[in-house]
Structure 1
Amino acid sequence: MLIPIWIVSFFPDPRKTRYFLNIGRVWMGVYMPLIGCPVFRKGLEHFKKGKQFVVVCNHNSFIDVPVTTPGVPGVNKTLAKAEMAKIPLFGMMYRIGGIMVNRQDDQSRRQSFEHMHNALNMGMHMVLFPEGTRNRTGMPLKKFYDGAFILAIDAQTPIIPALLFNTKKIQVPGKFLFALPHRIDFHFLPPVDTAGLTRDNLLELKEKVFNIMWDYYTLHAKDAAVSPAPELA
């Protein structure tokens, strides 16, 4: 798959990302069932043609990225750590499908917001993991960072909450180079509108999406924690 991906890397966006995703969807459509991890999606009707969304998803393991990138309908990009671009071969894929950011650099973070706005303006969805890093806790979700919600408010773009189930069972936290086959469920929930919201509504919006995702996860995951969602600061 590297040769066609390398070829499309020379195209401009959004065509580059569209071709890359088309290749990736064929590739993952074969690969994931072969390794015993078929992906089943639910809620695709929430995506409307010609409408862009900020998709916020929980993050449990490294396998989340090859599930979410081809699994979100339409052309989409994600936010990736700058060091991922340095990985041989796979770094090329991250550079095509992702917007690279150095989290320790203020200028890089500001530029990443500009690039994400540009992606939305070009008709692409942004797929973001508001927990920031993988959730290694026993709880359904970790505390959310502000970035995804600032983007959605500033761009006046609706948010689609999304939840991955069972990826933590495939790659168990704390076990290195370890994986077990398991079905993956990828659910999209109804959009949360941001029209008319300002940054003054940031905490309210973040808490609303967090509670929607927490409640849905605890209802649909057999081994999810059943305690009420904590308040966000």
Structure 2
Amino acid sequence: MRTLKYILARFFAFWAALVFVSTMLLVLIPIVLIGFAAEPRRSRLFQSLIQGWMTVFFVLTGVRRSFRGREHFRKGENYVVVCNHRSYLDPPLSSPGIPTANKTIAKAEMAKIPLFGIVYRRGSVLVNRKSEESRKASYGKMKDVLVRHGFHMCIYPEGTRNRGSETLMKFHDGAFKLAVETGRSVIPALLFHSEKVMPPNEGFYFWPHRVAMHFLPPVSPAGKTVAELREEVHALMTHYLETTKA
């Protein structure tokens, strides 16, 4: 039975890759065209397009999504959204799952992929984590996303996929420093079951399974240090992941 699932997961992975590439080609021209629009209209159009694209992708690949807590996004306010990270499926689940326009911090090397790089750059703040200069530049761009453009900034504070058994890895300071310095509240976002669809320790593997994204109430940075805010959010997310069934 395990061998059969392993074989089927390879078939599903091929189908998911085919669906992703073919649907990406359909949205590529509109994505290029909206690049001529000025902000904030450009990112709002991009968000609507990506939400539609990912809805089609998840339906055709048999992955059912559910969302909880979207009412915590108050009209006229923007947030630093922090997510747990266990799978390559997390970005296509999280960024389109945020109700309104947002940017995601992302690895610069992924932008070099032909065609996909166009989509990737449009929705991301790129960073080369090996370059101190790039990290400083990306931090300034994230501030612009929040303060100048009024969008949400989506960040994975663990820094990389959690491949172990611990609920959450240690958080890096970046997201919380950003919140403290800009005065934007943090919305913790919990992703469930994405690792069952695309396990972090498997290669070419895809298994249709339901996934979920839950948003918690905003956590204000007012009167808190970066470390205090980081630990408060880490504790909230850990407790929620360990006590909530999704």
TM-score by shorter chain over 0.5: yes
Letter in 2 for 1:130: P
1:32 to 48, 58, 62: 58
Q: Which residue of 2 aligns with 1:204?
A: 228
Kindly state the Cα deviation for residue 196 of structure 1 after the two structures are TM-superposed. 3.5
Work out the percentage of aligned pairs sharing the same amino acid: 47
User: 2: distance between equivalents of 1:96 and 1:161?
Assistant: 24
List runs of 5+ in structure 1 lacking aligned partners: 223-233
- Is residue 182 from structure 1 mapped to residue 209 from structure 2 by the alignment? yes
Q: TM-score, normalised by structure 1?
A: 0.91
* 1:91 shift after superposition: 0.8
Q: Of 178, 182, 186, which aligns to 1:159?
A: 186
- Residue 104 of structure 1 aligns to which amino acid in structure 2? K
* Cα deviation digits, residues 148-169 of structure 1 (max 9, x gap): 0000000011000000000011
- The CA RMSD over aligned residues, in Å, is 1.2
CA distance in 2, matches of 1:166, 1:77: 23
Q: Per-residue displacement from partner, 1:72-128 (whole Å, max 9, x unpaired)?
A: 011100101110110111111111100011111111111111111111121100000
Alignment of 1:10-49 (within 5 A): 10-49=36-75
1:132 matched to 2:156? The reply is no
Matches within 5 A, 1:52-131: 52-121=78-147, 122-131=149-158
Counterpart contact for 1:81–1:102, Cα < 8 Å: yes
Q: Distance in 1 between matches of 2:57 and 2:206?
A: 15
Q: Indicate conservation of the 8 Å contact 1:149/1:205, yes or no.
A: yes
- Range with bigger deviation, 86-95 or 48-57: 86-95
Pick from 50, 56, 60: which aligns with 2:76? Answer: 50
Correspondent of 2:195 among 158, 163, 168: 168
Using the TM superposition, give the Cα deviation of residue 12 of structure 1 relative to its aligned residue in structure 2, in angstroms: 3.0
Between Structure 1 and Structure 2, the one with more helix by share is 2
For residues 20-48 of structure 1, the C-alpha deviation after alignment (integer angstroms, 9 at most, x for no partner) is 11111111112212211121100011000
Q: Distance in 1 between matches of 2:118 and 2:180?
A: 31
- The CA distance in 2 between the partners of 1:87 and 1:10, in whole Å, is 22
Cα distance in 1 between the residues matched to 2:187 and 2:173 = 16
Is 1:192 matched with 2:216?
Answer: no
Tell me the secondary structure at the aligned position of residue 94 of structure 2. Answer: helix
Q: Is contact 1:166-1:184 (8 Å) kept? A: yes
1:156–1:196 Cα contact (<8 Å) kept = no
Aligned length: 219
Output one character per residue of 1:180-205: Cα deviation in whole Å (capped at 9) or x when no partner: 001111000011001243xxx11111
Q: Which runs of 4+ in 1 moved over 4 A?
A: none
Counterparts of 2:72 and 2:114 in 1: how far apart (Å)? 36
Check conservation: 2:87, 2:198, Cα contact below 8 A.
Answer: yes
- Aligned-partner SS, 2:161: coil
- Report the residue type matching 1:136 in the other structure: R
The runs of 5 or more residues in structure 2 that have no matched partner are: 1-26
Task: Judge conservation of contact 1:16–1:96 (CA < 8 Å) in 2.
Answer: no
Give, in whole Å, the separation in 1 of the partners of 2:215 and 2:81.
9
- Alignment partners' CA distance in 2, 1:125 and 1:44: 13
Structure 2 contact 197–208 (Cα < 8 Å) conserved: yes
In structure 2, the residue corresponding to 1:127 is in which secondary structure? strand
After TM superposition, the score normalised by the length of structure 2 is 0.86
Instruction: Give the CA deviation at 1:221.
Output: 4.4
